[in-house]
């Protein structure tokens, strides 16, 4: 059986992963996994159930029983449109709290792996290249300075109409990165065989070009 082409893009929040992953998937005609959305959904479910973020057993139970639908570009949780609600920085922070619980991560594992379908997959997250798809043919670790990431995030949230304060945002991003990098399971680190791209001084088109070059080298048959 031919190997399933997989491109993983990991990195800290605000590194531009989401934009790059979506655009590269569009160019290649591959499926897209936004794994952060799954953790954001668990975080949202915890809030909705008014469960305690310290109550791991309740959170694991919610993660195992999530009822999610993706319809017309919208994300529905138990039938409710939560597309915007899961995008706030607070939702990102809640996501990172639930993401530190090992059983939450394993509850989401098969769901994520199921996205690997023909003709290929672009998987965006923190542990795509290290844990979920270690067999991926191309692994990118996209980084940028904390300041630049906060600036990008600020603009992205403002553009979505989400009200945000830059100083608070920098603090939240730092808190979230610290938790993501230092957790005991699947911490945010580049895979040994990842290509690390520092995008601090690069525009998004240059990053996309570099990523596509890596994909065409690994999977020459996908060149369009
Ligand atoms: O990428 P995004 O900002 O949507 O991710 C939200 C949070 O979900 C991250 O801060 C991280 O804690 C968690 N996450 C994770 N593993 C992934 C994707 C996201 O732990 N593969």
Are 87 and 162 in contact, with CB atoms under 8 Å apart?
Answer: yes
Pick the residue whose CA is nearest to atom 21 on ligand 1. Answer: 125
Separation of 118 CA from ligand 1 center, angstroms?
A: 25
Residue at 83 is within a domain? yes
DSSP-derived 3-state class of residue 194: coil
What count of Cα atoms within 13 Å lies in the side-chain half-sphere of residue 15?
24
Separation of 22 CA from ligand 1 center, angstroms?
A: 16
- Over 70: is that where the pLDDT of 157 sits? yes
Q: Edge to edge, what strands does the sheet with 121-125 contain?
A: 31-34, 121-125, 6-10, 138-143, 195-198
What is the rounded CA–CA span in Å between residue 202 and residue 224? 24
Are 60 and 157 in contact, with CB atoms under 8 Å apart?
Answer: no
pLDDT tens across 100-150, in order?
999 999 999 999 999 999 999 999 999 999 999 999 999 999 999 988 999
Q: How many domains does the chain have?
A: 1
109 lies in which domain range?
Answer: 6-217
Query: How do 68-71 and 74-77 pair as beta strands?
Result: antiparallel
* CATH number of the structural domain spanning residue 108: 3.40.50.300
What is the rounded CA–CA span in Å between residue 102 and residue 67? 20
pLDDT of residue 1: 47
Residue at 224 is within a domain? no
Residue at 222 is within a domain? no
Are 104 and 110 in contact, with CB atoms under 8 Å apart?
Answer: no
Pick the residue whose CA is nearest to atom 20 on ligand 1. Answer: 99
Residue at 198 is within a domain? yes
Pick the residue whose CA is nearest to atom 19 on ligand 1. Answer: 36
Cβ of 100 closer than 6 Å to ligand 1, yes or no, is: no
Q: Across residues 173-183, what is the average pLDDT?
A: 91
Summary mean pLDDT of the chain:
94
Separation of 221 CA from ligand 1 center, angstroms?
A: 31
Residue at 1 is within a domain? no
Residue at 39 is within a domain? yes
pLDDT of residue 146: 87
Are 124 and 42 in contact, with CB atoms under 8 Å apart?
Answer: no
DSSP-derived 3-state class of residue 174: helix
pLDDT tens across 76-108, in order?
999 999 999 999 888 999 999 999 999 999 999
Sign of CA dihedral 72, 215, 41, 94: negative
Residue at 10 is within a domain? yes
- Our mutation pick for probing the ligand 1 site, out of 10, 12, 16, 39, counting the most ligand atoms within 8 A of Cβ, is 39
């Amino acid at each position: 059986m031919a190997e399933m082409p997989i491109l993983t893009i990991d990195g800290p929040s605000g590194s531009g992963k989401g934009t790059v992953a979506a655009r590269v998937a569009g160019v290649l005609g591959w499926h897209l996994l936004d794994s952060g959305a799954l953790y954001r959904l668990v975080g949202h479910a915890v809030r909705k159930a008014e469960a305690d973020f310290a109550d791991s057993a309740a959170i694991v139970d919610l993660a195992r029983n999530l009822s999610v639908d993706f319809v017309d570009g919208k994300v529905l949780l138990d039938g409710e449109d939560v597309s915007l609600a899961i995008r706030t920085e607070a939702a990102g922070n809640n996501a990172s709290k639930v993401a530190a619980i090992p059983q939450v991560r394993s509850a989401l594992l098969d769901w994520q792996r199921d996205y690997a379908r023909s003709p290929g997959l672009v998987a965006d997250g923190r542990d795509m290249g290290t844990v979920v798809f270690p067999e991926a043919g191309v692994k990118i670790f996209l980084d940028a300075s904390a300041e630049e990431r906060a600036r990008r995030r600020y603009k992205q949230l403002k553009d979505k109409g989400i009200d945000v304060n830059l100083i608070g945002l920098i603090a939240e991003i730092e808190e979230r990165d610290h938790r993501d990098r230092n957790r005991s399971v699947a911490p945010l680190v580049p895979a040994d065989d990842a290509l690390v791209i520092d995008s601090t001084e690069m525009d998004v088109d240059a990053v996309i070009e570099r990523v596509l070059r890596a994909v065409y080298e690994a999977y020459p048959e996908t060149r369009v």
